[in-house]
Amino acid sequence: MGADARVTGERVSKARALLERCGAGHDLGDEQAVERADSIAAAAAEYAEASGAGNAAVLDEHLRDEFELRDADATMRTMSDDPYLHHVPMLTGGVGRDQVHRFYRDDWIPSWPPDVETTSISRTVGADQVVDELIVGFSFDRPLDPDGLPVTGAEQARALCEVTGG
């Protein structure tokens, strides 16, 4: 079997799996099944974007880049061309790519201990905005903010609310 036939076979297999999940296309030939699956996938993508699910996926990537990869450049790639960030408790952040990137690179990301973990509590998705309520857990092994708390090394958990988009 040539490479083109294998790829076509894989595509047909994936198309049929999608159609099966949708309860459709049982009586279609291979070419029709692929066309129907492509149509369903395109409609699903449009629906996700219109419902704000696209924004939610971008926020998931943003949080991964920020807290797991700890990569300011990758975090910035998830943001608009003209971002602003207002970190309310600390009255810090920035306006525009340069200031926001500096904040992530120099202040926010390096301040978190390496064992930081986020747990989603609630997510509200609107057409152009996502609101996440998170618990951020970590070992308190460094000063995190000017709250005056002595560093103890103990496990900590803090609530974080992130409003994205809009």
pTM here is 0.65
Q: How many domains does the chain have?
A: 2
CATH of the domain at 151: 3.10.450.50
| Whole-number pLDDT of residue 25 | 66
29 and 75 part of one domain: no
Residues 6+ apart with CB under 8 A from 28: 19, 36
| Whole-number pLDDT of residue 49 | 62
Cβ atoms of 101 and 72 closer than 8 Å: yes
149 and 125 part of one domain: yes
Report how far residue 16's alpha carbon sits from residue 2's, in angstroms, rounded to the nearest whole number: 21
Domain boundary (16, 36, 51) is at: 51
18 and 98 part of one domain: no
125 and 47 part of one domain: no
Report how far residue 27's alpha carbon sits from residue 35's, in angstroms, rounded to the nearest whole number: 13
Number of other residues whose CB lies within 10 A of the CB of residue 163: 12
44 and 61 part of one domain: no
Q: What is the mean pLDDT of each run of 10 residues along the chain (166 residues)?
A: 55 85 81 86 71 77 92 93 85 92 92 90 87 92 75 89 82
* Distance in angstroms between the alpha carbons of the first and the last residue of the chain: 51
| Whole-number pLDDT of residue 53 | 65
| Whole-number pLDDT of residue 144 | 72
8 and 83 part of one domain: no
Domain boundary (32, 51, 70) is at: 51
83 and 73 part of one domain: yes
Write out the residue range of the structural domain in which residue 159 sits: 53-165
DSSP, res 150? P
14 and 43 part of one domain: yes
CB-based burial label for 58 (10 Å; 0-12, 13-18, 19+): middle
| Whole-number pLDDT of residue 2 | 45
80 and 15 part of one domain: no
Q: What is the CA radius of gyration of the chain?
A: 22
Q: Where are the alpha helices (DSSP H) in the chain?
A: 3-22, 30-51, 53-63, 72-77, 97-102, 109-111
120 and 82 part of one domain: yes
Report how far residue 93's alpha carbon sits from residue 84's, in angstroms, rounded to the nearest whole number: 7
Task: Give 69's strand partners.
Answer: none
68 and 9 part of one domain: no
103 and 39 part of one domain: no
